[in-house]
Structure 1
Protein backbone atom coordinates (compact mmCIF):
# COMPACT_ATOMS: atom_id res chain seq x y z
CA UNK A 1 0.00 0.00 0.00
CA UNK A 2 1.25 3.46 -0.91
CA UNK A 3 0.42 6.50 1.20
CA UNK A 4 0.32 9.91 -0.44
CA UNK A 5 0.87 12.83 1.94
CA UNK A 6 -0.74 15.94 0.47
CA UNK A 7 -1.98 19.45 1.20
CA UNK A 8 -4.75 21.23 -0.74
CA UNK A 9 -2.85 24.54 -0.79
CA UNK A 10 0.14 23.00 -2.59
CA UNK A 11 0.04 22.95 -6.42
CA UNK A 12 2.17 19.82 -6.74
CA UNK A 13 -0.19 18.06 -4.32
CA UNK A 14 -3.12 19.05 -6.53
CA UNK A 15 -1.54 17.21 -9.45
CA UNK A 16 -0.41 14.22 -7.36
CA UNK A 17 -3.82 13.85 -5.70
CA UNK A 18 -5.68 13.99 -9.01
CA UNK A 19 -3.37 11.38 -10.53
CA UNK A 20 -3.38 9.10 -7.48
CA UNK A 21 -7.15 9.39 -7.04
CA UNK A 22 -7.66 8.26 -10.62
CA UNK A 23 -5.30 5.33 -10.06
CA UNK A 24 -6.93 4.43 -6.73
CA UNK A 25 -10.31 4.35 -8.47
CA UNK A 26 -8.74 1.89 -10.93
CA UNK A 27 -7.68 -0.33 -8.03
CA UNK A 28 -4.08 0.74 -7.42
CA UNK A 29 -3.56 0.46 -3.63
CA UNK A 30 -3.11 4.08 -2.52
CA UNK A 31 -4.27 5.77 0.63
CA UNK A 32 -4.37 9.51 1.18
CA UNK A 33 -3.01 11.28 4.25
CA UNK A 34 -3.37 15.01 4.64
CA UNK A 35 -0.34 16.89 5.88
CA UNK A 36 -0.30 20.58 6.72
CA UNK A 37 3.29 21.35 5.77
CA UNK A 38 3.09 24.95 6.98
CA UNK A 39 1.39 24.08 10.26
CA UNK A 40 0.25 27.65 10.80
CA UNK A 41 -3.13 28.88 11.94
CA UNK A 42 -3.04 31.98 9.79
CA UNK A 43 -3.34 32.80 6.14
CA UNK A 44 -0.12 33.31 4.25
CA UNK A 45 0.46 35.21 1.01
CA UNK A 46 1.21 33.38 -2.19
CA UNK A 47 4.97 33.60 -2.61
CA UNK A 48 7.10 33.70 -5.75
CA UNK A 49 8.13 30.06 -5.35
CA UNK A 50 4.49 28.97 -5.35
CA UNK A 51 3.74 31.14 -8.39
CA UNK A 52 6.67 29.60 -10.26
CA UNK A 53 5.48 26.09 -9.35
CA UNK A 54 1.94 26.88 -10.51
CA UNK A 55 3.33 28.05 -13.84
CA UNK A 56 5.57 25.02 -14.20
CA UNK A 57 2.74 22.57 -13.44
CA UNK A 58 0.01 24.10 -15.66
CA UNK A 59 0.34 21.56 -18.47
CA UNK A 60 0.67 18.55 -16.19
CA UNK A 61 -2.30 19.74 -14.11
CA UNK A 62 -4.44 20.23 -17.21
CA UNK A 63 -3.63 16.67 -18.31
CA UNK A 64 -5.09 15.49 -14.98
CA UNK A 65 -8.17 17.71 -15.35
CA UNK A 66 -6.97 20.24 -12.78
CA UNK A 67 -7.11 24.01 -13.17
CA UNK A 68 -4.39 25.79 -11.20
CA UNK A 69 -5.55 29.39 -10.93
CA UNK A 70 -3.46 31.81 -8.91
CA UNK A 71 -5.01 31.84 -5.43
CA UNK A 72 -5.41 35.11 -3.56
CA UNK A 73 -3.70 33.63 -0.50
CA UNK A 74 -2.78 30.44 1.28
CA UNK A 75 -5.33 29.81 4.04
CA UNK A 76 -4.66 27.48 6.96
CA UNK A 77 -5.52 23.96 5.83
CA UNK A 78 -5.93 22.13 9.16
CA UNK A 79 -9.74 22.07 9.01
CA UNK A 80 -9.64 20.79 5.44
CA UNK A 81 -7.41 17.98 6.68
CA UNK A 82 -9.86 17.15 9.47
CA UNK A 83 -12.65 16.91 6.89
CA UNK A 84 -10.68 14.83 4.36
CA UNK A 85 -9.32 12.52 7.06
CA UNK A 86 -12.79 11.81 8.45
CA UNK A 87 -14.17 10.96 5.01
CA UNK A 88 -11.33 8.58 4.06
CA UNK A 89 -12.68 5.07 3.67
CA UNK A 90 -16.21 6.31 2.94
CA UNK A 91 -18.02 6.56 -0.40
CA UNK A 92 -17.55 10.34 -0.39
CA UNK A 93 -13.76 10.30 0.22
CA UNK A 94 -12.67 10.91 -3.37
CA UNK A 95 -15.48 13.40 -4.18
CA UNK A 96 -14.82 15.44 -1.01
CA UNK A 97 -11.05 15.49 -1.58
CA UNK A 98 -11.57 16.55 -5.19
CA UNK A 99 -14.09 19.21 -4.17
CA UNK A 100 -11.73 20.72 -1.58
CA UNK A 101 -8.90 20.96 -4.13
CA UNK A 102 -11.24 22.32 -6.80
CA UNK A 103 -12.70 24.92 -4.43
CA UNK A 104 -9.24 26.23 -3.61
CA UNK A 105 -7.56 26.06 -7.02
CA UNK A 106 -10.45 26.86 -9.35
CA UNK A 107 -12.74 29.01 -7.18
CA UNK A 108 -10.20 30.63 -4.80
CA UNK A 109 -12.38 29.51 -1.87
CA UNK A 110 -11.16 30.05 1.68
CA UNK A 111 -10.74 26.42 2.68
CA UNK A 112 -9.65 27.54 6.14
CA UNK A 113 -13.25 28.59 6.85
CA UNK A 114 -15.57 25.94 8.35
CA UNK A 115 -18.70 27.32 6.65
CA UNK A 116 -17.00 27.21 3.23
CA UNK A 117 -15.77 23.65 3.83
CA UNK A 118 -19.25 22.58 4.93
CA UNK A 119 -20.73 23.87 1.66
CA UNK A 120 -17.95 22.27 -0.39
CA UNK A 121 -18.38 18.90 1.35
CA UNK A 122 -22.17 19.01 1.08
CA UNK A 123 -21.94 19.65 -2.66
CA UNK A 124 -19.69 16.55 -2.86
CA UNK A 125 -22.27 14.38 -1.10
CA UNK A 126 -21.33 14.65 2.58
CA UNK A 127 -23.97 15.38 5.22
CA UNK A 128 -23.69 19.11 5.97
CA UNK A 129 -24.81 18.80 9.61
CA UNK A 130 -22.25 16.07 10.28
CA UNK A 131 -19.54 18.12 8.58
CA UNK A 132 -20.43 21.29 10.50
CA UNK A 133 -20.29 19.38 13.79
CA UNK A 134 -16.96 17.80 12.85
CA UNK A 135 -15.38 21.13 11.90
CA UNK A 136 -16.55 22.71 15.17
CA UNK A 137 -14.96 19.86 17.18
CA UNK A 138 -11.72 21.23 18.65
CA UNK A 139 -10.73 17.73 19.79
CA UNK A 140 -10.87 16.46 16.19
CA UNK A 141 -8.65 19.37 15.12
CA UNK A 142 -6.17 18.78 17.96
CA UNK A 143 -6.07 15.06 17.16
CA UNK A 144 -5.34 15.74 13.49
CA UNK A 145 -2.57 18.16 14.43
CA UNK A 146 -1.05 15.52 16.72
CA UNK A 147 -1.10 12.99 13.89
CA UNK A 148 0.60 15.48 11.56
CA UNK A 149 3.19 16.13 14.27
CA UNK A 150 3.88 12.40 14.38
CA UNK A 151 4.37 12.39 10.62
CA UNK A 152 6.84 15.28 10.96
CA UNK A 153 8.85 13.31 13.52
CA UNK A 154 8.84 10.35 11.12
CA UNK A 155 10.43 12.47 8.40
CA UNK A 156 7.56 13.96 6.40
CA UNK A 157 8.56 17.56 5.89
CA UNK A 158 6.74 18.64 2.77
CA UNK A 159 4.20 17.57 0.21
CA UNK A 160 3.52 15.71 -1.93
CA UNK A 161 5.40 12.72 -0.56
CA UNK A 162 4.73 9.03 -1.04
CA UNK A 163 5.42 6.52 1.72
CA UNK A 164 6.30 3.08 0.34
CA UNK A 165 7.78 0.34 2.51
CA UNK A 166 8.88 2.83 5.19
CA UNK A 167 10.63 4.96 2.56
CA UNK A 168 9.60 8.52 1.73
CA UNK A 169 9.72 9.39 -1.97
CA UNK A 170 8.92 12.71 -3.66
CA UNK A 171 5.25 12.41 -4.56
CA UNK A 172 4.95 14.08 -7.94
CA UNK A 173 5.50 10.85 -9.85
CA UNK A 174 4.21 9.94 -13.28
CA UNK A 175 1.50 7.32 -13.63
CA UNK A 176 3.80 4.44 -14.55
CA UNK A 177 6.15 5.16 -11.64
CA UNK A 178 3.20 5.06 -9.23
CA UNK A 179 1.97 1.78 -10.71
CA UNK A 180 5.47 0.27 -10.53
CA UNK A 181 5.96 1.44 -6.96
CA UNK A 182 2.57 0.06 -5.87
CA UNK A 183 3.36 -3.29 -7.49
CA UNK A 184 6.73 -3.44 -5.69
CA UNK A 185 5.41 -2.95 -2.15
Structure 2
Protein backbone atom coordinates (compact mmCIF):
# COMPACT_ATOMS: atom_id res chain seq x y z
CA UNK A 1 0.00 0.00 0.00
CA UNK A 2 2.82 2.40 0.69
CA UNK A 3 2.77 5.76 2.35
CA UNK A 4 0.10 7.55 0.30
CA UNK A 5 -2.08 8.50 3.28
CA UNK A 6 0.94 9.92 5.09
CA UNK A 7 1.90 11.77 1.90
CA UNK A 8 -1.61 13.26 1.72
CA UNK A 9 -1.42 14.48 5.32
CA UNK A 10 2.06 15.91 4.80
CA UNK A 11 0.89 17.61 1.60
CA UNK A 12 -1.92 19.36 3.49
CA UNK A 13 0.55 20.45 6.18
CA UNK A 14 3.04 21.59 3.55
CA UNK A 15 0.40 23.52 1.61
CA UNK A 16 -0.77 25.28 4.77
CA UNK A 17 2.82 26.12 5.74
CA UNK A 18 3.61 27.37 2.23
CA UNK A 19 0.62 29.71 2.21
CA UNK A 20 1.31 30.90 5.77
CA UNK A 21 4.96 31.61 4.95
CA UNK A 22 3.98 33.57 1.82
CA UNK A 23 1.59 35.63 3.96
CA UNK A 24 4.29 36.08 6.64
CA UNK A 25 6.75 37.33 4.03
CA UNK A 26 4.13 39.66 2.60
CA UNK A 27 3.35 41.09 6.03
CA UNK A 28 6.91 42.36 6.56
CA UNK A 29 7.58 46.08 6.41
CA UNK A 30 9.62 47.28 3.47
CA UNK A 31 10.80 50.76 2.54
CA UNK A 32 9.90 52.23 -0.84
CA UNK A 33 13.58 52.29 -1.87
CA UNK A 34 14.16 48.66 -0.96
CA UNK A 35 10.91 47.69 -2.63
CA UNK A 36 11.91 49.37 -5.89
CA UNK A 37 15.34 47.72 -5.80
CA UNK A 38 13.96 44.23 -5.09
CA UNK A 39 11.16 44.59 -7.63
CA UNK A 40 13.55 45.92 -10.28
CA UNK A 41 16.06 43.09 -9.87
CA UNK A 42 13.31 40.47 -9.79
CA UNK A 43 11.68 41.96 -12.89
CA UNK A 44 15.03 41.99 -14.73
CA UNK A 45 15.65 38.37 -13.82
CA UNK A 46 12.16 37.32 -14.91
CA UNK A 47 12.43 39.24 -18.18
CA UNK A 48 15.74 37.48 -18.81
CA UNK A 49 13.90 34.16 -18.89
CA UNK A 50 11.63 35.31 -21.71
CA UNK A 51 12.87 35.06 -25.30
CA UNK A 52 10.55 37.23 -27.38
CA UNK A 53 8.89 35.31 -30.19
CA UNK A 54 10.34 31.95 -29.15
CA UNK A 55 7.89 29.89 -27.11
CA UNK A 56 10.16 26.84 -26.84
CA UNK A 57 13.20 28.79 -25.61
CA UNK A 58 11.08 30.69 -23.09
CA UNK A 59 9.44 27.51 -21.81
CA UNK A 60 12.83 25.80 -21.51
CA UNK A 61 14.32 28.77 -19.61
CA UNK A 62 11.39 28.84 -17.20
CA UNK A 63 11.49 25.06 -16.73
CA UNK A 64 15.24 25.09 -16.07
CA UNK A 65 14.71 27.91 -13.57
CA UNK A 66 11.85 26.31 -11.62
CA UNK A 67 12.45 22.54 -11.84
CA UNK A 68 15.78 22.43 -9.94
CA UNK A 69 14.29 24.38 -7.02
CA UNK A 70 11.29 22.10 -6.94
CA UNK A 71 13.43 18.96 -7.10
CA UNK A 72 15.73 20.21 -4.31
CA UNK A 73 12.65 20.65 -2.09
CA UNK A 74 12.31 16.84 -2.13
CA UNK A 75 15.59 16.45 -0.26
CA UNK A 76 15.23 15.11 3.27
CA UNK A 77 15.55 17.74 6.02
CA UNK A 78 16.92 20.59 3.86
CA UNK A 79 14.22 20.39 1.18
CA UNK A 80 11.31 21.52 3.35
CA UNK A 81 13.49 24.28 4.83
CA UNK A 82 14.38 25.54 1.35
CA UNK A 83 10.70 25.41 0.37
CA UNK A 84 9.81 27.45 3.45
CA UNK A 85 12.48 30.06 2.81
CA UNK A 86 11.44 30.32 -0.84
CA UNK A 87 7.79 30.72 0.14
CA UNK A 88 8.63 33.45 2.64
CA UNK A 89 10.74 35.31 0.09
CA UNK A 90 7.95 35.00 -2.50
CA UNK A 91 5.64 36.85 -0.12
CA UNK A 92 8.31 39.47 0.53
CA UNK A 93 8.87 40.04 -3.20
CA UNK A 94 5.10 40.31 -3.69
CA UNK A 95 5.04 43.00 -1.01
CA UNK A 96 7.94 44.77 -2.77
CA UNK A 97 5.97 44.69 -6.02
CA UNK A 98 2.92 46.17 -4.32
CA UNK A 99 4.93 48.94 -2.65
CA UNK A 100 6.97 49.70 -5.80
CA UNK A 101 4.15 49.64 -8.36
CA UNK A 102 0.89 49.79 -6.44
CA UNK A 103 -0.11 46.58 -8.24
CA UNK A 104 -0.02 42.97 -7.20
CA UNK A 105 -0.35 41.76 -3.66
CA UNK A 106 -1.57 38.49 -2.25
CA UNK A 107 -4.85 38.52 -4.15
CA UNK A 108 -3.00 38.84 -7.45
CA UNK A 109 -0.48 36.20 -6.40
CA UNK A 110 -3.08 33.64 -5.35
CA UNK A 111 -5.35 34.26 -8.34
CA UNK A 112 -2.63 33.66 -10.95
CA UNK A 113 -2.70 30.15 -12.44
CA UNK A 114 1.09 29.92 -12.76
CA UNK A 115 1.59 30.99 -9.14
CA UNK A 116 -0.99 28.51 -7.90
CA UNK A 117 0.64 25.68 -9.84
CA UNK A 118 4.03 26.68 -8.43
CA UNK A 119 2.62 26.67 -4.89
CA UNK A 120 1.11 23.25 -5.57
CA UNK A 121 4.39 21.86 -6.95
CA UNK A 122 6.51 23.27 -4.12
CA UNK A 123 4.03 21.96 -1.55
CA UNK A 124 4.10 18.47 -3.05
CA UNK A 125 7.91 18.54 -3.19
CA UNK A 126 8.16 19.80 0.38
CA UNK A 127 5.75 17.11 1.56
CA UNK A 128 7.89 14.46 -0.12
CA UNK A 129 10.94 15.98 1.56
CA UNK A 130 9.11 15.75 4.90
CA UNK A 131 8.20 12.11 4.22
CA UNK A 132 11.78 11.24 3.30
CA UNK A 133 12.98 13.08 6.43
CA UNK A 134 10.56 11.03 8.53
CA UNK A 135 11.76 7.82 6.91
CA UNK A 136 15.37 8.83 7.47
CA UNK A 137 14.78 9.60 11.15
CA UNK A 138 12.88 6.33 11.67
CA UNK A 139 15.59 4.46 9.73
CA UNK A 140 12.98 3.10 7.35
CA UNK A 141 13.21 2.65 3.62
CA UNK A 142 11.07 4.79 1.38
CA UNK A 143 9.32 3.07 -1.50
CA UNK A 144 11.54 3.92 -4.45
CA UNK A 145 8.83 3.68 -7.12
CA UNK A 146 6.43 5.81 -5.11
CA UNK A 147 9.04 8.54 -4.74
CA UNK A 148 9.82 8.33 -8.47
CA UNK A 149 6.09 8.62 -9.23
CA UNK A 150 5.88 11.78 -7.12
CA UNK A 151 8.97 13.21 -8.83
CA UNK A 152 7.51 12.50 -12.28
CA UNK A 153 4.28 14.23 -11.26
CA UNK A 154 6.26 17.23 -10.00
CA UNK A 155 8.23 17.45 -13.24
CA UNK A 156 4.92 17.35 -15.11
CA UNK A 157 3.71 20.29 -13.03
CA UNK A 158 6.96 22.14 -13.79
CA UNK A 159 6.42 21.56 -17.53
CA UNK A 160 2.85 22.85 -17.17
CA UNK A 161 4.07 25.94 -15.29
CA UNK A 162 6.71 26.63 -17.94
CA UNK A 163 4.26 26.13 -20.79
CA UNK A 164 1.56 28.40 -19.37
CA UNK A 165 4.07 31.09 -18.41
CA UNK A 166 5.67 30.94 -21.87
CA UNK A 167 2.23 31.20 -23.51
CA UNK A 168 1.39 34.23 -21.38
CA UNK A 169 4.74 35.82 -22.25
CA UNK A 170 4.24 35.29 -26.01
Structure 2-normalised TM-score?
Answer: 0.23
Which structure: larger Rg?
2
Higher relative contact order, structure no. (Cα contacts within 8 Å, ≥ 6 residues apart): 2
Q: Which structure is higher in helix share? A: 2
Structure 1-normalised TM-score?
Answer: 0.22
Q: Which structure is higher in strand share? A: 1
